[in-house]
Structure 1
Amino acid sequence: MEERKKETRRRGEVLEEAILRAAWEELAEKDYAHLTMESVATRAGTNKAVLYRRWDNKSELVMAALRRHLPKITNEVPDTGSLRGDVYAFLHARVEPMRTINVQAIRGLMMDPRVWRTIAAFMPQIFQKRPENKLMAIMMSIMKNAELRGEISLEKLSPRIIALPLDLLQCEIITKQEPVSDTAITEIVDDIFMPLIHASQQQ
């Protein structure tokens, strides 16, 4: 009886928020394969029927939870005072939201195309190569700021070199299927990108 009264008090947005929070917490604690509608319902203090009235299956529920709780990525252009610092900060901001999900969950999510597309949407256009790509626009702003500081001459840099940090980040995400580490970002910037920049400037 008490449970029924509790359920009656939570309706609409309040109940939906409780369910989405429960799904997010389940995802943080276990892999995607072991997350079930029943486990989410139990954590939310409701029953499976309530979940199925709102979402047809687990993937739809998880996508809704990701949209609600996955941290948003800022599109601000970093301004650390150096090209190296700006590129590092830019790459770090791209992957920080994924660190809120455990590794096994990420691997399971990547096996479900519908859910992975939702995750990718929080890394705006990271998998696109078009000139109007927002991330490439930010990279160009970073490079132009470096040129204004006298660090580089843009005319000596090819589009491929400018896009390289994003290409390597994409490769890291797809091949490792886990949050990209600070060490990996440092290697992309310090061991690959910056040496290429310095070499190009000496030509």
Structure 2
Amino acid sequence: MTQGGVRRRGAELEASLLEAAWEELAAVGYARLTMEGVAARARTGKQVLYRRWGNRAELVVAALRHRTGSIVDRIPDTGTLRDDVLTLLRRMVRRQHDVSPDVIHGLLAEVPEMNPEFFTVMREAMTAVLRQAADRGELTLDALPARVVTLPADLLRNEIFFAREPIAENTLLEIVDDVFLPLVRATAGGTSDR
């Protein structure tokens, strides 16, 4: 737990662990990433990692968020629901470029072992975006079915997991303009136009 003879604690220790995880991931890839390897790189014991993250998938997701920031920390407010949702989806696509397909497919394989909290980030972000839209009078939030809230992110996540090519802008437009907004209009009285 020491680095240069100084004991690391709290946020400093966590940042150090996440940086070590990112470096180890870059060095060995997802398939060969181990908690032991990350601990060795961070010059600590693996129990320090397991106190914070239940498995390597949770550690890798946390390292990615540490590196790029959390989507929830920067909720877009462009003035329209459509543009806010597109901004969130574009951020998800940019994150895809920060990790290799090896990492994406490794995480997909380990989703059942991950803490469900790791999947609430996009729900929180979409809820905030929809709340802003409701405040602007674009929709009635209480009329919106819960499953619709994360629909754009869920559809994009599916594209990311199974696509062999980078996600095209046209795919994002289809998700928002052809699926999400018509559904919002039909169920929550949305008035957003393209």
Q: Give the shorter-chain TM-score range.
A: 0.5 to 0.7
Give the aligned residue type for 2:167: S
TM superposition shift of 1:66: 4.0
Match of 1:22 among 9, 20, 23: 20
Counterpart Cα distance in 2 of 1:61 and 1:197 = 37
What's 1:186 paired with?
A: 173
Q: 1:141 to 1:18 in 2, by over 3 A?
A: closer
TM superposition shift of 1:187: 2.0
* Aligned sequence identity (%): 27
Q: Is the 8 A contact 1:73 1:93 kept in 2?
A: yes
Q: Is the 8 A contact 2:57 2:114 kept in 1?
A: yes
Q: Classify the secondary structure of the residue corresponding to 1:109.
A: helix
Which ranges of structure 1 fall in alignment gaps of 5 or more residues? Answer: 1-5, 127-132, 148-153
Q: Is the 8 A contact 2:104 2:161 kept in 1?
A: yes
TM-score (norm 2): 0.59
Q: Is the 8 A contact 1:110 1:177 kept in 2?
A: yes
Q: Is the 8 A contact 1:23 1:62 kept in 2?
A: no
Q: How many residues align?
A: 176
**Which has the greater radius of gyration?**
1
Give the aligned residue type for 1:141: Q
Q: Is the 8 A contact 2:22 2:64 kept in 1?
A: yes
Please list every run of at least 4 consecutive aligned residues from structure 1 whose deviation after the TM superposition is greater than 6 angstroms: 196-201
Q: Does 1:167 align with 2:151?
A: yes
What's 1:12 paired with?
A: 8
CA RMSD of aligned residues (A): 4.4
What's 2:46 paired with?
A: 52
Counterpart Cα distance in 2 of 1:83 and 1:66 = 27
TM superposition shift of 1:73: 1.8
TM superposition shift of 1:21: 1.3
